[in-house]
Chains A and B, each alone.
Chain A
């Protein structure tokens, strides 16, 4: 290295790089300062204590709600308030020939029964809907 190189090198060392802005320092502070505080044993103890207190409170609240619900002392007292049977639907199909050579007309009948029961004490209603279907053959006379 000659003297001229040393001059340049010493001049370079005199240059002052610009400092990072305050935003960088703040961001580093957020990353370095906050986790240290949260990880300290004292802080961890506080978090654990609060967690235990909150868990116990939640368990107590659940227990309170469970045991203080209005008890169901008697069996439900449902009364029939409505019974309905809409008109049946009848489907008549084309005649068919039976094994013994006679003829018959297939008929399908569909209907439904609906009943409603109500317990006025608890204001609950039970709806019983039962669809039904029956299939039959009407014998036909042939001449």
Chain B
């Protein structure tokens, strides 16, 4: 990750990291529109107030996204409960660019089949670039629990990809 502490233009930083940050926001929201709103609010807050803080800027921006998502959940809790089931199905492959490799395509379409708990650990580790310790701090679970969810997720993905590749 480029150094967000420096005085570089936010557009360059966002062009490099926006896609993976949006995927992280998508894990904690119920629709693409909500993910965009959360990403926008979190990034503005991070860039204005937090990027100069000491520590890992990557963890800071992920924290900012999670807080914005939780705020949105509180505001729209009743409405969103009705939309949750629909959004999980619709999100299947649309979160990633199309892939020519059928195995990668199968992997992309298998991610939504994971439980929400396993999926958020996978997304935070791969695209959030966080350690199990940092993931545990984000999700308020122990690092061991985060690692355990990761292992179960890998096992489930392996099974799903194998099944979908040879369908």
Chain A interfacial positions (CB closer than 8 Å to B):
1, 4-5, 8-9, 11-21, 23-25, 27-29, 31-32
Main secondary structure of the interface of A (DSSP, over half): helix
B95 near A12: Cβ-Cβ < 8 Å: no
A28 near B154: Cβ-Cβ < 8 Å: no
Main secondary structure of the interface of B (DSSP, over half): helix
Q: Write the B99-122 contact mask toward A (1 if CB under 8 angstroms, else 0).
A: 100011001100000000000001
Q: Which chain A residues border B127 with CB–CB below 8 Å?
A: 17
Ranked 5 nearest A-B pairs via Cβ:
A17-B23, A17-B19, A16-B97, A5-B154, A19-B19
A13 near B126: Cβ-Cβ < 8 Å: yes
Complex alpha-carbon distance, A105 and B104, angstroms: 114
B residues 20-78 touching A (CB-CB < 8 Å):
20, 22-23, 36, 39-40, 43-44, 47-48
B158 near A4: Cβ-Cβ < 8 Å: yes
Give 22 pairs: A residue, B residue, CB < 8 Å, sorted on A.
A11-B161, A12-B107, A15-B99, A16-B19, A16-B96, A16-B97, A16-B99, A17-B19, A17-B97, A17-B127, A18-B23, A18-B95, A18-B96, A20-B18, A20-B22, A20-B39, A21-B36, A24-B18, A24-B36, A28-B14, A32-B44, A32-B47
B107 near A17: Cβ-Cβ < 8 Å: no
Q: Which chain A residues border B11 with CB–CB below 8 Å?
A: 25, 29
B151 near A17: Cβ-Cβ < 8 Å: no
Q: Which chain B residues border A27 with CB–CB below 8 Å?
A: 40
Q: Which chain B residues border A12 with CB–CB below 8 Å?
A: 107, 122, 126, 157
Number of A-B contacts (CB under 8 A): 81
A17 near B96: Cβ-Cβ < 8 Å: yes
Q: Which chain B residues border A24 with CB–CB below 8 Å?
A: 18, 22, 36, 39-40
Q: Which chain A residues border B108 with CB–CB below 8 Å?
A: 15
Q: Which chain B residues border A32 with CB–CB below 8 Å?
A: 10, 44, 47-48
Q: Which chain B residues border A18 with CB–CB below 8 Å?
A: 19, 22-23, 94-97
Chain B interfacial positions (CB closer than 8 Å to A):
10-11, 14, 18-20, 22-23, 36, 39-40, 43-44, 47-48, 94-97, 99, 103-104, 107-108, 122, 126-127, 151, 154, 157-158, 161
Q: Which chain B residues border A31 with CB–CB below 8 Å?
A: 40, 44
Cβ distance B2 to chain A, nearest Cβ, rounded Å: 16
Task: With CB as the reference atom, state the residue of chain B lying closest to A23.
Answer: B36
Complex alpha-carbon distance, A14 and B95, angstroms: 14
Cβ distance B94 to chain A, nearest Cβ, rounded Å: 7
Q: Which chain A residues border B99 with CB–CB below 8 Å?
A: 14-16
